[in-house]
Amino acid sequence: ATDDELQSDAEQWLTSWAAPGSDPVSLRQLPAEVAADPQLARGEAYLRAGMRGEALRELDELRERYNDSPLAQYALALHFRDLGLYRHATLAAVRTGALSPAGLFASPLFIQRMAYPTYFSDLVEAEAAARGLDPLLIYSLIRQESFFERGARSFAAAQGLTQVIPSTAEWIANAIGWPNFQPDDIYKPYINVKFGTYYLFAALEMFDGNPYPALVGYNAGPGNAQYWLDQAATDDNDLYVEEISISEPKLYVRRVLAHLANYQRLYGK
């Protein structure tokens, strides 16, 4: 089925339980109340002015205020996607599915794929191919790290789509011979995806291709990943994950691999 057919299927499904009697195509338009919301206008004005952080905050609040409206969430998912606000679009799609009678994972393919999207596919596919990695693993990592928000920044100063910290970015730039690297370059998607993919590749090389310690290394540093591997003294990945004494990398590896299972299911690879 084409994307258009999948979208039509999703809109007929949404109509059936959220807007009986409506024209399914009308669901693409923001509900009048949302379209007239001053916070939408403010957020978009910030975006046009290049004030991305402020725009994201306003539009996040807007999205959360309509958290119980599947029609608002669906239309906002499309609207945010068109604005290039992929984190917001992804979260709105997740919420659309979550509000449905049988939940996200019983929702039509179009909704689920918007919840597990493949944004920046030209970059991801090229970098994954260059390193011999599964692109679906890169999407899974990006979804967990930043929800596809190019300007993402964490409390630990991790930056961009793949959440690379500045010291790691410097190390990667040297490792791959990237000329004249400037700290802010890491927010450029083509550089960020290249650097993050290389770092994951390096971690996979270190751990003989095993994604469990490699992902722990990506999140908590390869030294920690190796330490827990030594402590676990087992080839059983589940026992290895149990050995991890810090909750963040333990959750991280489980979530990224759960995302990967969904990407494989939804994109049939």
Q: List, for residues 14-63, the tens digit of each pLDDT value.
A: 999 999 999 999 999 999 999 999 999 999 999 999 999 999 999 999 99
Q: What is the CATH number of the domain that holds 212?
A: 1.10.530.10
Give the model's pLDDT for residue 156: 84
Domain that holds residue 254: 121-267
Task: Clarify whether residues 215 and 106 are in a common domain.
Answer: no
Mark 8-22 as b/e (b = at least 16 C-beta within 10 Å). bbbbebbbeebbeee
Q: What is the pLDDT of residue 215?
A: 98
Domain's final residue, options 115, 141, 162: 115
Same domain, 131 and 231: yes
Closest CA to 59 of 31, 30, 80: 80
Check whether residue 130 and residue 240 sit in a common domain.
Answer: yes
Tell me the C-alpha distance between 76 and 61, whole Å: 12
6 pLDDT more than 70: yes
207 and 130 in a common domain: yes
Percent of the chain whose pLDDT exceeds 70: 100
Percent of the chain with pLDDT over 90: 98
- Residue 242 and residue 211 share a domain: yes
Band the pLDDT of 113: cuts 50, 70, 90.
very high
Contacts of 233 (CB under 8 A, 6+ apart): none
User: Are 133 and 244 contained in the same domain?
Assistant: yes
128 and 161 together in one domain:
yes
- Could you say which of 115, 134, 169 is where a domain stops? 115
* CB 211 within 8 Å of CB 204: yes
Interval 168-181 mean pLDDT: 97
Task: Specify the pLDDT at position 1.
Answer: 87
Examine the domain organization and report whether 130 and 257 are in the same domain.
yes
What amino acid is encoded at 26 in this protein? Answer: S
Reported as a pLDDT band with limits 50, 70 and 90, residue 268 is confident
Q: What would the mean pLDDT of 183-189 be, rounded to a whole number?
A: 97
User: pLDDT at residue 269 above 70?
Assistant: no
Same domain, 10 and 141: no
Check whether residue 147 and residue 237 sit in a common domain: yes
Q: Are residues 106 and 200 in the same domain?
A: no
* pTM for this predicted structure: 0.97
Last residue of a domain, one of 72, 94, 115: 115
List residues with catalytic annotation: 145
Helix pair angle (121-131, 135-146), 10° resolution? 130
| 155 pLDDT above the threshold of 90 | no
pLDDT band at 241 (very low <50, low <70, confident <90, very high): very high
Mean pLDDT of the chain: 97
Whether residue 193 is predicted with pLDDT greater than 80 in this model: the reply is yes
Residues 130 and 263 in one domain: yes
Assess whether pLDDT exceeds 90 at residue 77: yes
- Give the number of domains in the chain: 2
